[in-house]
Structure 1
Amino acid sequence: MKRTIAVSLFAAGMAMAGGALAQAAVGQAAPAFSGTDATGKPVSLDQFKGKYVVLEWVNPECPFVKKHYDSGNMPSVQKYAADKGVVWLSVSTSADGDRAGKSAAINEWVKAKSAMPAATIMDTGGAIGKAYGARTTPHMYLIDPSGKLVYAGAIDSKPTANPADIKTSTNYVIQAIDESLAGKPVSQAVTKAYGCSVKYG
């Protein structure tokens, strides 16, 4: 009996440890969150009830992020989403540090790249990232108007840092948006995200 209890407690402990970065479950309610964007304004998922919402984990220094921004691909996907009435929220997760300095830097970067997120949330301390299990930059999620997570994973099907691969890849986010808006189930609802590791400290 004691051995069974010990094993059960160990298993529970491992589940909790893994749960800190357990990916939010597609088909289930997306984790609620609130935070502050890079301009100092409060942002919460509740603000966008009734709309599709894309979450994009971002790090301007990451080569995989640069692939999609330096080429203009991510801003064009953001515009595509916006034209469809989809809210795009970028999330910058960091363990700690100069929040004001990072906010200013990311605002400049967003402007320089002609990016179009509705907001860039400064996830200092990583609470939002941990709730979603965000592991890489980029790591993408699509939430439907009912608040259900319908896609989680990579931006596209070519897990490289080479911009030349964008043209021949399947953009999973556009695919998920189009299928959802057409009333269809997302055909590839979970894919393996690729990119630089999100730093949680």
Structure 2
Amino acid sequence: MIHRTIRALALGAALLVCAPAMAQATPGQPAPAFTLTDLAGKAVQLAQFRGRYVVLEWTNPSCPFVQKHYVSGNMQSLQKRYTAAGVAWLVINSTAASHPEFVQPAQQAAWLGKQGAAPTIAMLDPDGKVGRAYGARTTPHMYVIDPEGRLIYAGAIDDKRSANPADVKTARNFVAQALDEAHAGKPVSTVSTPAYGCSVKYAD
């Protein structure tokens, strides 16, 4: 009986180890297509931005790591700088509707407005399909897509893995680096980094 129990536990552990991980969008490959609804209720397709660089920013207003980049003005500065250069900056919140941190479209819009944010579009992804397709694990989690629709960067916004707004000043910003290098016709020197922040609050 004991041996059978041990074997069953071992099998269960093996199944957990072998369970498929969340999908992960891979730099150099086509970015997963999606359609979401913006905060005004209008359908938005990633495909409509073909021909432009696109930044995907996963967000959650309740997350201290997200707040770090808005309290410091860092995220707004990036949004304004690169949208002025023709980049489409898309903010996505994949918090599940059942989670206490879920926000309604009007609440997300009000929060972004209060921060002085300047994305091209902001959207909710309450069923988590888009977040899971990209493998977004944290807020923030950042992705950069080139005009041909290929992912050229995925990961952390910078190399200061803290929630302290003061750290932004000395951080190496991977998103800015990827966009600047790509715009200059250079290969992106850092295409992937481990994202840091709060976990994305997906539905179970």
TM-score by length of 1: 0.89
Partner of residue 188 from structure 1, selected from 187, 190, 196:
190
Which residue is 1:65 aligned to? 66
What corresponds to 2:95 in structure 1?
Answer: 94
Amino acid at match of 1:95: A
Structure 1 residue 23: Cα displacement: 1.7
CA deviation string 1:62-88 (max 9, x = no partner): 000000001111000101111221000
Please report the TM-score for the alignment, with normalisation by the length of structure 2. Answer: 0.87
Cα distance per residue 1:127-165 (max 9 Å; x no partner): 000000000000000000000000000011101000111
In the alignment, residue 155 of structure 1 is paired with which amino acid?
I
Give the match for residue 160 of structure 1. 162
Q: CA deviation at 1:101?
A: 5.5
Aligned to 2:18: 14
Q: Secondary structure at the match of 2:162?
A: coil
Counterpart position of 1:112 = 114
Deviations 1:31-52 (A, max 9, x none): 0000101111111101101000
Offset of residue 126 of structure 1 = 0.2
Unaligned 5+ runs, structure 1: 1-9
Q: Percentage identity across aligned positions? A: 56
Count, aligned residues? 188
Asked if 1:43 is matched to 2:44, the reply is yes
Unaligned residue ranges in structure 2 (runs of 5+): 1-13
Alignment-mate amino acid for residue 155 of structure 2: G
The CA RMSD measured in Å over matched residues stands at 1.9
Structure 1 or 2, whichever has the larger Rg, is: 2
- AA aligned to 2:112 is V
Alpha-carbon separation, structure 1, partners of 2:123 and 2:103: 14
> SS in structure 2 opposite 1:27?
coil
> Tell me, what secondary structure is at the counterpart of 1:54?
strand
Query: What is residue 3 of structure 1 aligned with on the other side?
Result: none
Distance 1:43 1:186, change over 3 A: same
